[in-house]
Amino acid sequence: MGAAYSSCSSLSLAFPTVTLYSSPITTSSQSYPRSKPKPFSSTIDKIRNTRFLEPVKIMAQTPFPCSGLAVKCGKVEEVENQEEGTTRKPMVDYHGIDQVLLDEMVYDALVWSSLHGLLVGDKSVERSGKVPGVGLVHAPSALLPMPFPENQWRQAVDLTPIFSELVDRVSLDGKFLQESLSRTKKADAFTSRLLDLHSKMLEINKKEDIRLGLHRSDYMLDEQTKLLLQIELNTISCSFPGLSSLVTELHRSLLNHYGEVLGLDPKRIPGNNAYGYFVEAFAKAWTEYNNPRALVMFVVQAEERNMYDQHWLSAVLKERYNITAIRKTMAEIDAEAELLSDGTLLVGGKAIAVIYFRAGYKPDDYPSESEWRARLLMEQSSAIKCPSISYHLAGTKKIQQELAKPDVLERFLDNKEDIAKLRKCFAGLWSLDDPNIVKEAIERPELFVMKPQREGGGNNIYGADVRETLLRLQKEGTDGSAAYILMQRIFPTVFQTFLLRNGICHKDNAVSELGIYGAYLRNKDKVIMNDQCGYLLRTKTSSSDEGGVAAGFAVLDSIYLT
């Protein structure tokens, strides 16, 4: 799912200004020393062969002014700057780029996106989420990559296999999951249904010998402490492996054409082969299942405007490994599925080897009992679930908060160095059972975020609403508080950017959230795959609390290592 910027803030802080330019930007009256254009190469071939690049050094620091504009069809319009009056300075002088050059880059970016499948469904077209090829629009994206410190980038990459192992260990401890979420179960009907499903699997002693996880750990870089802090760990429907890979290639292509005048090197954008790794994980899991006639099944929503991100995976899976993937809603699975006595799941008469959930993570995905019957049938089957119900629960907000408690990580991990690395990235996480923390959050709500057991953007509570919600819960005196956790609010670095949405380029100050994908595959005691597998960067205006690309708050972005 597209997770929210659950702990970001744009309170007034003083930020150091870093420039990525090696020479001043020219004015509109000057000609541009354009490097020789390089032809667009095959995107799919380039992404397949990408690898992470060598380290780069932090460049010179120079302050620049900041202003605001929007570009429509080649025209530049002044718009109100949302940051006007603050003392913050931007990290990079993207806003100093000449308007003529900016218009050229915007045009080229929109053409590139159309030619290379960087697309989503257009919400203004009714059938765009149901019928492929109808109502296409470029995916919301940043025009240029975001500067990001290499040390923190490497830290996030190194944490990935540790978090994947942690999820697997936690998922095996059914007692821990049930007890940790017991109070949440009373307050949150959706979590209660998931726990009931998990309990049924425990009762029948359902074993998942082959375990596949495609996770994403999301981080923000805290400006004051310079620490990389985890926002959340996603274990179900980690979206955008296809489109995030394409955004990386878009930015590399633009810098191949315009990098000389901008003073930016395309080689400093780290490779992002996210969908290649996802497909490799599917293929390896399919091989372990050991039924050459079986299919991979994507569980999808009835209306999915982000279908092209998913189609990238199924298309490459077929092209590279000759494995067929089908797409089914949970209602369709309930109508078409059959469970054989040996545990084989048949859908439309075809055996299913791997089930990849891109739905099922929110209450709206279960509008009737039909969807719950389908989920139960899939959990009972021998098909490899990505994720299983235990992996799903291991990624809930409450479990994240429990793992942050003293001595809890030691229950699941033995390596002290790995434990120390995880704790270093933990932000403050608290239960609403702690009266001192609740009191502090009421007095200073701007320092906290209230997070419910929900995935995707638009669910968190900020600012004065934190105080009001806490006071209401105290007055009600029920178990309602168990449906939430409190999290430290992170104050990330603000930088200049251009946001492309619906063919319009907006100039603004922004913050970003970095998500690192991880693939984990185990068959009994043999770990077959535990790798970092690309990244997702989401950028949004610094004046907005919420995030999430699919939710309409953020855009896709890539990293420029500094």
Active site residue 451: yes
Structure tokens at 105: 């880059």
- The gap between the terminal CA atoms of the chain, to the nearest Å, is 29
Q: Which of 9, 180, 234, 388 is catalytic?
A: 234
Q: Which of 213, 242, 456, 534 is catalytic?
A: 456
Active site residue 538: yes
CA distances from residue 48 to 230, 274, 431 in whole angstroms, order as listed: 28, 9, 43
Q: Which residues are annotated as a binding site for substrate?
A: 216, 236-239, 304-306, 310, 358-361, 538, 549-550
Active site residue 226: no
Q: Which of 211, 216, 284, 375 is catalytic?
A: 216
Q: Which residues are annotated as a binding site?
A: 216, 232, 234, 236-239, 304-306, 310, 358-361, 397, 451-460, 462, 487-490, 513, 538, 540, 546, 549-550
Rounded to the nearest 10 degrees, the angle between the axes of helix 307-321 and helix 274-289 is 60
β-strand 119-121 against 429-431: which pairing, if any? Answer: unpaired
DSSP 461: B
Active site residue 96: no
Active site residue 211: no
The C-alpha angle 414, 420, 426, rounded to 5 degrees, equals: 120
Q: Which residues contact 177 (CB under 8 A, 6 or more apart)?
A: 170, 171, 195, 198, 390, 393, 394, 399
Active site residue 83: no
Active site residue 232: yes
Q: Which residues are annotated as a binding site for Mg(2+)?
A: 232, 234, 455
Distance CA 381, CA 353 (A): 10
Q: Which of 252, 328, 398, 538 is catalytic?
A: 538
CA distances from residue 317 to 37, 110, 276 in whole angstroms, order as listed: 32, 27, 9
Structure tokens at 141: 């994206």
Q: Which of 164, 239, 512, 558 is catalytic?
A: 239
Q: Which residues are annotated as a binding site for ATP?
A: 232, 397, 451-460, 462, 487-490, 513, 540, 546
Q: Which of 208, 223, 249, 455 is catalytic?
A: 455
Distance CA 393, CA 269 (A): 34
Active site residue 23: no
Q: Which of 451, 467, 507, 522 is catalytic?
A: 451
Active site residue 456: yes
Q: Which of 397, 398, 507, 522 is catalytic?
A: 397
Q: Which of 83, 232, 249, 379 is catalytic?
A: 232
On whether the CB atoms of residues 289 and 323 are closer than 8 A, the answer is no
Catalytic residue numbers read: 216, 232, 234, 239, 397, 451, 455-456, 538
